Amino acid sequence: MKIAITGKGGVGKTTLAGLLARLLADCGETVLAIDADPDANFGSAIGISPEQLASTMPISKMKELATQRTGAEGDGMFSLTPHVADIPDTYSIEHKGIKLLLLGTVEQGGGGCICPEHALVRTLMKHILFKKGESVIMDMEAGIEHLGRGTADSVDALITVVEPGSRSLQTARMIRELAADIGLKKTFVVASKVRNQEEKDYLRANLPDGELLGIMPLSEDVRQADMQNIAPYDLQGDIVESARDILKKLREKLD
C-alpha cells in the first residue's frame, strides 16, 4: 500500500499520517514513512524524539551526496538518474517498526532549472514508489509537487485532510483536479477536528459521493500527546480508533 497524504498546515494531515504508519507497522507490515513537508513533523507524529529528529538532515539538503551520486562537475553536467537504492536504508530513522526518511524540498532557481539535489530527490521518489513489498506513507505539503506522471500510477491513493469549512473543501477540490491532471485516479478525503453532528452533515453534503473516507474527531489526545512529546498513537484514545476505521475502509476501497 502506497498512500500520499496532503492538506493545508494545521488540519491534521501529519497526525493521520503518523496514525496510519503506526497501525500498519503493528499489523506486521514493512513501513517506510516519507516526510516531504517543509514543516517536517511526521517524525514526532510517529513518536521519534525531538533530539533524534534535530540531528537528521533532509535528503534534499545533502548537497555533497547529490553531487557524488549525480557526478556533478564544474561544467554543469550531471546524471539525471543517480543511484539511490541504498538511500532509504542508509539515511532513515527507525522507530516502532517504521523507517522514516526526511525528504524535504529543493529550493530551485528561476526558470524551472533542475539541480543535482532535484535529480536525486526525483529519482529517489520513483525508486520508493515503484519498489514492491513495503507500505509507504507520504506526508506532503498542501499539493502534489513530489508526484508526477512518472509516479502517479504507483500511488494507490491520495488522501486530502480537511476541516469542516468552505476554504478547506476548496483546497480538496483543487488537489483533486491536480491529481486528475497527472492520472492519479483514487483520491479520498478525511475530515479532521470534527466536533459535532452538524459538521459531519455539512461535510457529507459538500463532498462527492464515496470520497469521504472517514472522520477524525477534535481530540484532546492530540493536544496531550504534543505537550508530552509522544505520538498520539501511544495514548490509544478515540483518535486511534477513528484512524483504524479509516484504514479499514481504505483497504476495502482499494481491494
**pLDDT tens readout for residues 92-119:** 999 999 999 999 876 544 444 578 988 8
**pLDDT tens readout for residues 187-239:** 999 999 999 999 999 999 999 888 999 999 999 989 999 899 899 999 999 99
HEC assignment per residue over the chain? CEEEEECCCCCCHHHHHHHHHHHHHHCCCCEEEEEECCCCCHHHHHCCCHHHHHCCCCHHHCHHHHHHHHCCCCCCCCCCCCCCCCHHHHHCEEECCEEEEECCCCCCCHHHCCCHHHHHHHHHHHHHHHCCCCEEEEEECCCCCCCCCCCHHHCCEEEEEECCCHHHHHHHHHHHHHHHHCCCCCEEEEEEEECCHHHHHHHHHHCCCCCEEEEEECCHHHHHHHHHCCCHHHHCCHHHHHHHHHHHHHHHHHC
* pLDDT computed for residue 130 by the predictor: 87
Percent of the chain with pLDDT over 90: 62
Place of cell 535528503: 59
**pLDDT tens readout for residues 146-202:** 777 667 778 899 999 999 999 999 988 988 888 888 888 899 999 999 999 999 999
* pLDDT computed for residue 110 by the predictor: 42
To 10 degrees, what angle do helices 63-70 and 116-130 make? 80
* pLDDT computed for residue 111 by the predictor: 41
- Phi and psi at 6, nearest 5°, equal -135, 175
Domain holding 17, by residue range, is 2-254
What CATH number did the domain enclosing 69 receive?
3.40.50.300
- Phi and psi at 10, nearest 5°, equal 90, -5
Number of domains in the chain: 1
Q: Is the pLDDT of residue 14 over 70?
A: yes
pTM above 0.95, yes or no: no
